[in-house]
Amino acid sequence: MHSQPPVPKVFISYSHDSREHLDRILALSQRLRQGGIDCQIDQYQDSPPRGWPNWCTEQIEESQFVLVACTETYLLRFRGKEVPGRGFGGTWEGHIVIQELYNAQGRNSKFIPVVFSEDDLRHRPPPLQSATSYDLSLGYDTLYNRLIGRRRVIEAPLGEILPVLERKQTFLPPWNIPHARNPFFTGREKVLERLQTVLETRRAAALSGLGGVGKTQTAIEYAWLHRDAYQAVLWTKAEIREDLVSGFVAIAKLLNLPQAASTDQQAAAAAARQWFEQNCGWLLILDNADDIPWFATSFQAQQTAKSC
């Protein structure tokens, strides 16, 4: 059998502002009691045998929580600034609250400010202004959950520390492939293997076929698969001469070549071509290089994909 949680004992400290306020306090206390909380207020007593000061002191000391109903009148009496001869109960309870907070060195999990309107939030006693306040005009459930220890949010249980994963070699070469890797690419393993073999032996290869058969996707997959094998992985359109020139200008900028800042595109493109001639370990993909004769004349290239 599951044991029942202990019944929380609650006391409401308030001032007798008006008949309406007394009724609000009584309604709050009755609702708490109906919800299984042992709530006490002075309205349940006619005349405590040990007198009101002792009764108030015992209620505050013995309660798990003390709800402080903040109003302008309560704050006045809490501070001991009420007109002499009035508000003895609120003044006395204020002294007890302050003393308990003093004894606890300011740590507070017992005294809870509550209000019945947003305007009364400014009447919270200074020692309680740093505590969570509850505006009962906005709802009752949040306060009730606090009193019974029902948390609104429960943190996830701690899992095990994850093992250190072996990191793959990272690549930081110049890279300008304009397409993301296709996660659904499949069925071209033999083509990719043949492409790798040709590039390793002849250092240049062409992918040919009708439009839409997947030449571009195959070139992209090859670049992603073998990116760590090259010091630079570069791409340019090559369908017409203007595409090739602008592509080589962009490559010159990516390689941080001095001529990249030139306003002469031909000079920047020539600098990129010279870089390819003077360096090894690069992969260059020429997309849609269909007219091989003019392409070869323009940049001394032979195929749509080349590596050195």
What is d(CA 275, CA 129) in angstroms, rounded to the nearest whole number?
70
Of 118, 133, 148, the one marking the end of a domain is: 148
Do 102 and 207 sit in the same domain of this protein? no
Q: Give the pLDDT score at 95.
A: 86
292 assigned to some structural domain:
yes
Do 80 and 206 sit in the same domain of this protein? no
What pLDDT, in 10s, does the model give residues 204-218? 888 887 777 788 889
Residue span of the structural domain in which 104 resides? 9-148
Q: Mean pLDDT over all residues of the chain? A: 85
177 assigned to some structural domain:
no
Do 100 and 205 sit in the same domain of this protein? no
Secondary structure in 3-state letters for the chain: CCCCCCCCEEEEECCCCCHHHHHHHHHHHHHHHHCCCEEECHHHCCCCCCCHHHHHHHHHHHCCEEEEECCHHHHHHHCCCCCCCCCHHHHHHHHHHHHHHHHCCCCCCCEEEEECCHHHHHHCCHHHCCCCCEECCCCCHHHHHHHHCCCCCCCCCCCCCCCCCCCCCCCCCCECCCCCCCCCCCCCHHHHHHHHHHHHHCCEECCCCCCCCCHHHHHHHHHHHCHHHCCEEEEEECCCHHHHHHHHHHHHHHCCCHHHHCCCHHHHHHHHHHHHHHCCCEEEEEECCCCHHHHHHHHCCCCCEEEC
169 assigned to some structural domain:
no
pTM equals 0.52
- pLDDT (average), residues 72-87: 82
180 assigned to some structural domain:
no
Q: Cβ of 140: how many Cβ atoms within 10 Å?
A: 14
- Classify residue 6 as left (phi > 0), alpha (psi -120 to 50) or beta: beta
Q: Which residue bears the tokens 């790798």?
A: 196
What is d(CA 139, CA 116) in angstroms, rounded to the nearest whole number?
10
Do 143 and 193 sit in the same domain of this protein? no
What is d(CA 307, CA 166) in angstroms, rounded to the nearest whole number?
30
259 assigned to some structural domain:
yes
Do 132 and 74 sit in the same domain of this protein? yes
- Per the structure, how many domains does the chain have? 2
- pLDDT (average), residues 263-269: 90
Q: Give the pLDDT score at 163.
A: 76
Do 208 and 144 sit in the same domain of this protein? no
Do 196 and 126 sit in the same domain of this protein? no
Q: Give the pLDDT score at 32.
A: 96
Of 119, 148, 177, the one marking the end of a domain is: 148
What pLDDT, in 10s, does the model give residues 162-196? 776 554 444 456 888 988 888 888 878 888 999 88
Q: Give the pLDDT score at 288.
A: 84
Do 138 and 204 sit in the same domain of this protein? no
Please report which confidence band the pLDDT of residue 222 belongs to, taking 50, 70 and 90 as the band edges: very high
CATH number at residue 247: 3.40.50.300
Is the CB of residue 24 less than 8 Å from the CB of residue 80? no
165 assigned to some structural domain:
no
4 assigned to some structural domain:
no
- pLDDT (average), residues 86-101: 81
Q: Is 303 exposed, middle or buried (0-12, 13-18, 19+ CB in 10 A)?
A: buried
CATH number at residue 55: 3.40.50.11530
What pLDDT, in 10s, does the model give residues 129-157? 999 999 999 999 999 999 999 988 888 88
176 assigned to some structural domain:
no
Q: Which residue bears the tokens 């108030």?
A: 56
- Between 193 and 294, where is the model more confident? 193
Please report which confidence band the pLDDT of residue 300 belongs to, taking 50, 70 and 90 as the band edges: very low
Q: Give the pLDDT score at 156.
A: 85
